[in-house]
């Protein structure tokens, strides 16, 4: 994709999949704006993105914001647009993971998951759409394979990621008239700080299901996203295994359910 002198905005660009996207887009000559809460992580990420730049003309900037706070998002996005111009690509990667038995999942965690993963995308799209309308471009929302198949332990996370796909389908048809292409990314389990931090509360059943799916790298997911955007794909699913799971869930949902049930039974009966 021709990204030279184009701006790419990435929420959650300070870590994991968002950071890998920022590095790859910087390597194609784009100006980059990354958005996340933690200022130190933003600074470290900027150092690493800088190493991928290919020209002095690229602007690479980080902005601290909480995507779940609409006023914060409006203010910070206006500032970013005035500093580096409107986005040609907006990647909504900011997200909160976490696997819990529903019975021990606190209300606050459920609420926070929805506010970051669902409202966060609503807030950034609402803030940036007026600036993108004249110039077309792409919006990519990060969902998950857990956004088409509800997995043991992910009652909050899967609920939020199902919602991301629904919202993206609506945006896809609504924003066509502005020449804005909307995609939704469904990564499989990816080796990132989020994945590593889940272990503390992850039920054994979830660990067993995750283990059978394997793990890909953030760089692999970022490359698949960029290729998918180039081809103007709506649903972008990195890797053959992920594509098969989504296909099976659509045409023969009893099969992935039976496979997961068997794995869960094995763990529960020792």
Ligand X SMILES: NC(=O)c1ccc[n+]([C@@H]2O[C@H](COP(=O)([O-])OP(=O)(O)OC[C@H]3O[C@@H](n4cnc5c(N)ncnc54)[C@H](OP(=O)(O)O)[C@@H]3O)[C@@H](O)[C@H]2O)c1
Q: Which residues contribute to the site for ligand X (CB under 6 A)? A: 11-12, 14-18, 36-38, 41, 65-68, 93-97, 116, 142, 144, 187, 189-190, 192-195
Supply 48's token pair. 């690493």
The answer to whether residue 161 is catalytic is yes
Measured CA to CA in angstroms, residue 124 lies from 49, 76, 158, 259 at distances of 22, 10, 21, 37
Q: Which one of 9, 63, 100, 157 is the catalytic residue?
A: 157
The answer to whether residue 143 is catalytic is yes
Nearer to ligand X, 114 or 195 (CB): 195
Nearer to ligand X, 32 or 94 (CB): 94
138 touches 88 (CB < 8 A): yes
Dihedral sign, CA of 142, 144, 149, 152?
Answer: negative
d(CA 30, CA 4): 5
d(CA 17, CA 21): 6
Residues 6+ apart with CB under 8 A from 56: none
Dihedral sign, CA of 115, 158, 211, 265?
Answer: positive
Q: Closest distance between ligand X and the C-beta of residue 117, in Å?
A: 6
Nearer to ligand X, 84 or 151 (CB): 151
Q: What phi and psi, each to the nearest 5 degrees, are found at residue 110?
A: -60, -45
Q: Which one of 6, 14, 93, 161 is the catalytic residue?
A: 161
Q: Closest distance between ligand X and the C-beta of residue 36, in Å?
A: 3
Q: For residue 66, give the DSSP letter.
A: -
135 touches 177 (CB < 8 A): no
Nearer to ligand X, 73 or 175 (CB): 73
Helix (H) or strand (E) holding 64: strand 60-64
Q: Closest distance between ligand X and the C-beta of residue 4, in Å?
A: 25
Nearer to ligand X, 58 or 143 (CB): 143
Measured CA to CA in angstroms, residue 222 lies from 25, 142, 228 at distances of 9, 11, 10
Q: Give me Rg for the CA atoms of the chain.
A: 18
The answer to whether residue 231 is catalytic is no
Q: Closest distance between ligand X and the C-beta of residue 11, in Å?
A: 6
Q: Closest distance between ligand X and the C-beta of residue 120, in Å?
A: 6
Nearer to ligand X, 134 or 166 (CB): 166
Q: Closest distance between ligand X and the C-beta of residue 132, in Å?
A: 19
Q: Which one of 31, 68, 143, 144 is the catalytic residue?
A: 143
Task: Give me the active site residues, please.
Answer: 143, 157, 161
């Amino acid at each position: 994709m021709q990204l030279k002198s184009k701006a790419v905005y990435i929420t959650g660009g300070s870590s994991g999949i968002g950071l890998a996207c920022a590095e790859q887009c910087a390597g194609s000559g784009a100006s980059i704006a990354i958005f996340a809460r933690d200022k130190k992580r933003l600074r470290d990420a900027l150092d690493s993105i800088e190493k991928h730049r290919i020209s002095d003309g690229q602007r690479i900037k980080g902005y601290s914001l909480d995507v779940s706070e609409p006023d914060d998002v409006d203010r910070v996005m206006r500032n970013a647009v005035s500093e580096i111009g409107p986005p040609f690509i907006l990647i909504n990667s900011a997200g909160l993971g976490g696997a819990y038995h529903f019975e021990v999942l606190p209300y606050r965690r459920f609420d926070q998951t929805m506010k970051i993963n669902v409202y966060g995308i609503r807030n950034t799209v609402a803030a940036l759409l007026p600036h993108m309308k004249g110039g077309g471009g792409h919006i990519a929302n990060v969902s998950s394979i857990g956004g088409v198949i509800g997995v043991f332990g992910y009652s909050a996370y899967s609920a939020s990621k199902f919602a991301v796909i629904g919202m993206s389908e609506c945006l896809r048809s609504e924003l066509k008239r502005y020449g804005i292409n909307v995609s939704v990314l469904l990564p499989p389990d990816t080796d990132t700080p989020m994945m590593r931090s889940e272990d503390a509360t992850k039920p054994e059943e979830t660990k067993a299901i995750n283990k059978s799916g394997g793990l890909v790298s953030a760089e692999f997911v970022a490359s698949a996203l960029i290729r998918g955007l180039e081809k103007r794909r709506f649903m972008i699913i990195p890797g053959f295994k992920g594509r098969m799971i989504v296909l099976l869930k659509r045409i023969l949902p009893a099969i992935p359910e039976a496979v997961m049930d068997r794995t869960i039974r094995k763990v529960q009966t020792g």
